[in-house]
Structure 1
Amino acid sequence: MSASPQRTFAEFFAGIGLMRLGLERAGWKIAYANDICPGKFEMYRANFEDADDHFVVEDIHDVLAADVPTVLLATASFPCNDLSLAGARAGLKGSQSSAFYGFARILREMRCRRPRFILVENVSGLLSSNDGKDFREVMLTLNKLGYSVDPFIIDASHFVPQSRQRLFIVGELRSDSALKAEDRAEAAEFYQSEIRPRALAEFVFNNPDIDWRLRELPKLPQSLRRLISILEDLPHNRSEWWNEKRTAYLLNQMSQRHRILVDKMIDAAGWSFGTVFRRVRAGRSMAELRVDGIAGCLRTPRGGSGRQILVKAGFGEFHARLLTPKECARLMGANDFTISGSLNQALFGFGDAVCVPVIHWIAQHYLEARIQESRELYADGDKRAYG
């Protein structure tokens, strides 16, 4: 789809640019990108030839609002380190996730140039961080900036063979279509749906002072793709496959239940595949196996625990290796991404990114729908909204 000049966006916490890929597939045009990490910028530049024209490598707290162009949409995939269930959960006051306030400051300082839409992405753990206080703080901060808010949760497994549940928040500058007090439900179940599970529905119900704008969205697709569809066919003599000593150590880290599953895979007269994450359970490093055809959530390889391991078994054999960068790209729906840098750098870039087809779906079924619904309202020349 060709890009409409009206559908421009600024991408904060841009990383390697997968938010951009998803939006461009829906006809949007990049106007500005920012991230603090030089390594991610190098990956971005290897894939996007125009990177030097609009990408600013800088701490978001130092970005000047005056340097951000007027756009229709601003996106923010701010760091999840302090919000994730896998982390220490320092919350919005943590050194990483507090970067959200840098994004909010830029919006505030843009004043009448604020984008009509914002799209915020983070882990679903944001909903429960600090007993819900952090999520409420994010919602109220966006309200104070003039945005009605609509949160929903999407698992990337609806599009790709990866379990990756993420919380999205669409904010839109207030209009008469925001949820009014007289329209509020009498029970939390009214808000519950496929994309707003019970915990999120209850939060909406229990926080009526927040300016919500909840939109009914179409049913998510059901992907039939499985792990095997994204794998590279690497011969067993390639260096990526682990040696016998290393694979034996991995097997010894498995629980009895998972070892029984592996033994059945080994004894089978055909190849089967699974993924493994190492996790600390009761002070012991354990190798936890998944064999349902869906990869676990890609994570950044901090400390090694985020490295997802592929296992292949059958015909009396057992093999193991890390997922390759190309396989990680495919799990994120970025099949044609030009990959550069070291293995760790690639794993870090994709593990910290958004799933491309999920963003494409949101752009199509939410953003585009809202633009079309209000096209006549803005046709008279609201330059703030259309840039």
Structure 2
Amino acid sequence: MNEPVVTAATFTNHPAATNHYNSLPPTVAEFFAGIGLMRMGLERAGWSVEFANDIDPKKWQMYATNYPANHFVLGDIHLIDPATVPTVTLATASFPCTDLSLAGGRAGLAGAQSGAFWGFLNILKGMETRRPPIVLLENVPSFLTSHGGQDFHRAMCALNDLGYAVDAVIIDAAWFVPQSRQRLFVIAVQQELPIEVKTDTFLSKLRPKALTSFISSHLDINWRLRVLPELPSGSATLDEILEDLPANASEWWDEKRSMYLLSQMSDRHREVAEKMIANDKLSYGTVFRRTRNGVYVAELRSDGIAGCLRTPKGGSSQQILIKAGFGTVSVRNLTPRECARLMGAEEYVIDVPRNQALFGFGDAVCVPVVEWISRNYLMPLLVEMNDG
């Protein structure tokens, strides 16, 4: 029988777990594994990946360079037999955001790519009594609002139908690394587990108004919210992750190309750039080219935080670095190593072409965010389960 619907005033103590959940190991099956950054964050916190799947051979190539790939299944998630997935404690799914993102076609979970979420749900369903007691989903915040919230509602109800109660948080990578990258994380837990529930922790950095409003207006969903510690302060700055490239390095643009970029800025952004150039110290900013009213416009960010890394599907997706001061300006694209650092993956081995690396990092999860979730949410859950 399902537990009562959780409201803002409810505190629930759950009955003791069955023997099925005793002595659970920190094992993981990761779906939509990408280049392995979810794995990196989990392993830093003590988890062990027993199974991985992704459909992209280029991402698998990067993954296999950094991790043993004997447990990696390359292929369509819809074709995976649930019986071949090992019994694990945690299943993760960083399913495609293309149809959910603001830049996508807004097809939502009915889309060809983001709809792969249902392939993941079918695997959980097919695992039956071996279903992982914990599930972690990751996607863009617009998952919450896709189709007026209907997609997120359907997804949460589908998890409820499989026996999971759900929680959700929104975390910006900028609290850990100098990159603005908000992501929505859903943590789902088997309902009969003896896990503390407290929902008077609504509005916070982790659960901003858009999320708490959704929760409070969808109490037909079986929520299980958890008290969490404060997030880090986010003191890292862009200059800390930059490679020290000499002035004559081929990565730096020539003067004509650099000046053309400045000419694409609006008056407001150009004024900021000119102040950076005139300053008597070096400072750094990042630029994205965006289409505004059919025209490419260069938009400058100068607060010491990079914009959200993207997959380089076109010139406008490439993030550009500006180094300015003492009357000079230098311009280049961010390097793959800098992108790795912006994702908290300094030690990641990169041995593939530049665009392949940028695509991999632009489509990945921020490692210290995953590590924080693991240390402050997933591992405490595991301890409670094993003590239950």
Quote how far apart the aligned CAs of 1:178 are: 7.4
Select between 81-90 and 251-260 the one with higher mean Cα deviation: 81-90
Counterpart of 1:76 in structure 2 is 93
Mapped to 2, the partners of 1:320 and 1:130 lie a distance apart of: 39
Q: In structure 2, which of residues 48, 57, 80 is the aligned counterpart of residue 29 of structure 1?
A: 48
Q: Which amino acid aligns with 2:184?
A: L
Describe the superposition over 1:338-380 as per-residue Cα deviations: whole angstroms up to 9, x where unpaired: 0021111001000000000111111111011112223232xxx
1:223 and 2:234 matched? yes
Counterpart of 2:243 in structure 1 is 232
| Local SS of the residue matching 2:35 | coil
Q: Are the counterparts in 1 of residues 193 and 385 from structure 2 also a CA contact under 8 Å?
A: no
1:40 and 2:53 matched? no
Q: In structure 1, which of residues 257, 261, 266 is the aligned counterpart of residue 277 of structure 2?
A: 266
Counterpart of 2:143 in structure 1 is 126
Within 5 Å, give how 1:345-384 maps onto structure 2.
345-377=356-388
Counterpart of 2:172 in structure 1 is 155
Q: In structure 2, which of residues 243, 250, 256 is the aligned counterpart of residue 245 of structure 1?
A: 256
Mapped to 2, the partners of 1:223 and 1:342 lie a distance apart of: 31
Q: Percentage identity across aligned positions?
A: 58
1:140 and 2:157 matched? yes
| Local SS of the residue matching 1:194 | coil
Mapped to 1, the partners of 2:282 and 2:104 lie a distance apart of: 35
Quote how far apart the aligned CAs of 1:17 are: 0.2
| Local SS of the residue matching 1:170 | strand
Mapped to 1, the partners of 2:245 and 2:387 lie a distance apart of: 55
Report the aligned-residue RMSD: 1.6
Describe the superposition over 1:63-95 as per-residue Cα deviations: whole angstroms up to 9, x where unpaired: 111111000000000000011112222111111
Q: Which amino acid aligns with 1:13?
A: F
Q: In structure 2, which of residues 224, 232, 256 is the aligned counterpart of residue 213 of structure 1?
A: 224
Mapped to 2, the partners of 1:142 and 1:306 lie a distance apart of: 34
Quote how far apart the aligned CAs of 1:270 are: 1.9
Describe the superposition over 1:174-201 as per-residue Cα deviations: whole angstroms up to 9, x where unpaired: 1265799xx877xxxx622221111111
Q: Are the counterparts in 2 of residues 147 and 173 from structure 1 also a CA contact under 8 Å?
A: yes
Q: In structure 2, which of residues 336, 344, 369 is the aligned counterpart of residue 333 of structure 1?
A: 344
Mapped to 1, the partners of 2:174 and 2:215 lie a distance apart of: 25
Counterpart of 2:307 in structure 1 is 296
1:104 and 2:115 matched? no
1:7 and 2:18 matched? no
1:94 and 2:91 matched? no
- What is the total number of aligned residue pairs between the two structures? 366
Mapped to 1, the partners of 2:191 and 2:339 lie a distance apart of: 38
Structure 1: unaligned runs, 5 residues or longer:
378-387
Q: Are the counterparts in 2 of residues 5 and 29 from structure 1 also a CA contact under 8 Å?
A: no
Q: Which amino acid aligns with 1:224?
A: S
Q: Are the counterparts in 2 of residues 177 and 213 from structure 1 also a CA contact under 8 Å?
A: no
Mapped to 1, the partners of 2:199 and 2:270 lie a distance apart of: 51
1:64 and 2:81 matched? yes
Quote how far apart the aligned CAs of 1:224 are: 1.3
Mapped to 1, the partners of 2:193 and 2:354 lie a distance apart of: 50
Counterpart of 1:287 in structure 2 is 298
Q: Which amino acid aligns with 1:209?
A: D
Counterparts in 2 of 1:127 and 1:197: CA distance versus 1, 3 Å: same
Counterparts in 2 of 1:5 and 1:135: CA distance versus 1, 3 Å: closer
Select between 84-93 and 157-166 the one with higher mean Cα deviation: 84-93
Q: TM-score, normalised by structure 2?
A: 0.91
Mapped to 2, the partners of 1:155 and 1:14 lie a distance apart of: 20
Counterpart of 2:14 in structure 1 is none
Counterparts in 2 of 1:21 and 1:178: CA distance versus 1, 3 Å: closer
Q: Are the counterparts in 2 of residues 9 and 30 from structure 1 also a CA contact under 8 Å?
A: yes
Describe the superposition over 1:191-239 as per-residue Cα deviations: whole angstroms up to 9, x where unpaired: 2222111111111111111011000110101121100000001012111
